[in-house]
Amino acid sequence: METKVSKLVSCLIFVMAIQVILPVSDALEIGYYKDTCPEAESIVRKIVSSFVYPYPGLGAGLIRMFFHDCFVRGCDASVLLDPSPSNPDPEKNAIPNNPSLRGFEVIDAVKDTLENVCPGVVSCADIIAFAARDATYILGGFSYDIPSGRYDGKVSIKSEANKLPAPFFNLDQLKASFAAVGLSTDDLVALSGAHSIGRSHCSSFKSRLYPNIDPTMDVNFALFLRSQCPEDTSTDGVVPQDFVTPNNLDKQYYDNVKSLKGLFFSDWSLLTSPETNSLVDSYSTVPGLFEAAFGKSMVNMGNIGVLYKGEGEIRKSCRCVN
């Protein structure tokens, strides 16, 4: 009897060990498409490069698209879905996305090519993740390995885009927004570095300029912004988020924050706690630290709310469900 029990225990321990060692089927992995579509990542890289090198703003748009997708319903490409009779008001129509979100034509071009090469294999959610990684390399000169294996969602709701952190958030609101999707304060500060590229509509920071200049903004910088964003105008102007190196994903953002030359109140908010202030200073002064942190946090963000086989689908077109 003791022999049987000891054998049973040994078997259970062996089975448990095997379960720990073997990869879980529902998990993202590096090189997920190596057997089913080995050219997938090189195709994405080639097409993204053809768009972003001549038009760097599209690279900023692709990185922002990854952020806006993952923060709402997880990284499921729900941000790509067009209005339809069954879903007339998707995320794409929400104020944070319309009309400022860019790069949809890049995703379309990638998807069309992949459907010709290996139809029904590569998800739109993974295409966004790959495109953001490749845009990071083009604009920042550094890269990171991004796991894949995401499936596409079938639901997209405009009102849910309100979950996105707003440019007027204070630090507590920012931290709560990131914590709600499983991201840390370190992720918050690192991903904020994407504000070193791209453009912003004046409406996102105009309250800091009128009627009085926000005391948390450098006065001369605010006066310059007033010249770019007049108070009485029917058009919503656009300015670079970083006037120093507008097409480079680099540490300049943190230099701007320290000198009170960030566009958004949320940028200044990073200076309001010892923890975040220290990170801003470190990313500003330690060579390579921002790049490493940004890549790590992009991977962390790519794990939010992932759908696997049986939970989502591989769309034939990224703009509509199958």
First vs last Cα of the chain: how many Å apart?
58
Which H or E run contains 200? strand 199-201
DSSP, collapsed to helix, strand or coil, labels residue 84 as strand
In 215-273, beta strands by DSSP E: 238-240
Cβ density class 264-292: b for 16+ within 10 Å, e for less: bbbbbbbbeeeebbebbeebbeeeebbbe
Closest CA to 308 of 76, 97, 108: 76
CA-atom Rg of the chain in angstroms: 22
Q: How far apart are CA 301 and CA 308, in angstroms?
A: 16
Structural contact between residues 270 and 241, judged by C-beta atoms closer than 8 angstroms: no
Closest CA to 124 of 76, 58, 181, 56: 76
Please report, to the nearest 10 degrees, the dihedral formed by the alpha carbons of residues 71, 74, 79, 81 taken in order: -160
Q: How far apart are CA 296 and CA 277, in angstroms?
A: 20
Polymer length of the chain: 322
195 tagged catalytic: no
Q: How far apart are CA 312 and CA 315, in angstroms?
A: 9
Residue of 56, 66, 67, 68 marked catalytic: 68
> Alpha-carbon torsion 235, 82, 107, 144, what sign?
positive
Q: Which residues are catalytic?
A: 68
